[in-house]
Structure 1
């Protein structure tokens, strides 16, 4: 309560109205908390449940340790490959990729054809001229077919091609 002691002013009393200060709420809260504590103490957890909880905790701990170890082992090889990549030699995969990308489409098709037939460039060079010409004609035919397929794909559905180009640009 607040009281004004000023003689000129009328004495006013203000009461603070808060729901948690209500005596009925305070009594109910006390009874509820006491009943809740009594109920928690009276309920006993079976021994089997306690063992399951302990096992679950051990599993969680093992999982966390494994995760930390995996993160540590994956971080180490990345560092070693960075060192190798910055050195004078590049990785073989990168070299192979660069070599493949530097080839013309005809060279790629020829390489694929020779691989399908189980031949090497040296074996083709040792073949008679007629067989070499047959391989060259097959490469030319496949290259022509590939170009026709690309043109057909562009001309058949311009909207689909526009969507593909847009997605490729993304």
Structure 2
């Protein structure tokens, strides 16, 4: 709370000291009143200053409390993320070992076994389902697999022949480009 006081100029007739005792008394009273007013204003200003300081202290305390709350929330979020990463890390490790086992199993098969497995997959039959079939159905599926294997081998030979023809054209093109 700020108080504004305007000091009013009092025009008193100029007299020499000692001429008028009432004027001197009035002047002394006026001086004392002005001094009391100044003291009162100073006290109010100090009180206002104290209130401002208290207000600033309250605001600073609130800001520190808010910063502490934010820091606590960040720490909590970090801890949750760390726990999640540890959980995901262990399951990823299990997935990796499973994928590694599948890869090793695949690589241990011969190319013919891999081709047979891919044909079974195209037919929508798993190895377990194939093993559970009666012998007649296994024979029919086996013949189908053999036929598809022959078809794929023939297609591979045609592609290889086309590649060898296209390879023959490239040296001429390469020589032409080299001459430029």
Shorter-chain TM band: 0.3 to 0.5
Q: Which has the higher contact order (CA 8 A, sep 6+)?
A: 2
Structure 1 length-normalised TM: 0.37
Q: Structure 1 or 2: larger helix share?
A: 2
Structure 2 length-normalised TM: 0.36
